[in-house]
A and B are shown apart, each in its own frame.
Chain A
Amino acid sequence: AQSVAQPEDQVNVAEGNPLTVKCTYSVSGNPYLFWYVQYPNRGLQFLLKYITGDNLVKGSYGFEAEFNKSQTSFHLKKPSALVSDSALYFCAVRATYGQNFVFGPGTRLSVLP
């Protein structure tokens, strides 16, 4: 069965500092991996995804994520955090073509001015 873990409920970082939001997954076969962001009172917005190829994936708003197969991780990163990055972040995995998506529990990111 597929599963996604986001070990941190909350991440606090000072504006201008680098940020990391962690995600690990469990899946049979090759994973499709995704990050979504949710701002208050809004739906989820797609940030980036890994399907195949280069392990470092770049996405919207300066975010990037690195796929690490040996550690089954897909951590979200940004070199310099903005206060406007404060939101709820969800990691998701999909095992194979046509199968369901599984979302992690979410990590609340607070960027302090």
Chain B
Amino acid sequence: GAGVSQSPSNKVTEKGKDVELRCDPISGHTALYWYRQSLGQGLEFLIYFQGNSAPDKSGLPSDRFSAERTGGSVSTLTIQRTQQEDSAVYLCASSNTGSHSLSLSGNTIYFGEGSWLTVV
């Protein structure tokens, strides 16, 4: 697609429920990232997928969080047994790390609009 697409854009869920957030990266991008951002705050790295390599999961805050990337494209971030502290914007991004190009698109990370999660 033309840009990184995330769904749902907004999600309100009850404490204890599981949620799935979807990210569709820019076509052809080999790297995909998930970040979390609390209201007006900085970015918290969650997980990074690069091609067929094992993902870097070092940012996942607990074992309630998991993510997968199927077929090297779409990714799903799953939060099990949601807690109120999970409320945040979940941002997905992708980049074309397969290029050494100095063009605008090379080596640049592009973000989606985010999925706003509220746990009540």
Contacts and interface: CB of A to CB of B under 8 A. Distances in A.
Interface stretch (B13-21, B60-68, B101-109): B101-109
A100 interface: yes
A101 B33 contact: yes
Interface in B3-58: 4, 31, 33, 35, 40-43, 45, 48, 50, 56
Contacts of A90: 42-43
A56 to B, nearest CB: 15
**B interface residue count range (under 10 / 10 to 19 / 20 to 34 / 35 or more):** 20 to 34
A45 B33 contact: no
A97 B91 contact: no
B107 A32 contact: yes
Nearest to A101: B109
A103 B42 contact: yes
Nearest to B95: A101
Interface residues of A, number: 26
A98 interface: yes
A43 B33 CA distance: 13
Given A42-B113, A101-B33, A105-B42, A49 B91 contact: no
Contact of A97 (B33, B35, B100, B108): B100
Interface of B: 4, 31, 33, 35, 40-43, 45, 48, 50, 56, 91, 93, 95, 97, 100, 102, 106-114
**Across chains A and B, which 10 residue pairs bring their CB atoms closest together, nearest first?**
A43-B111, A105-B42, A44-B111, A43-B113, A103-B43, A106-B42, A100-B48, A43-B114, A98-B97, A101-B109
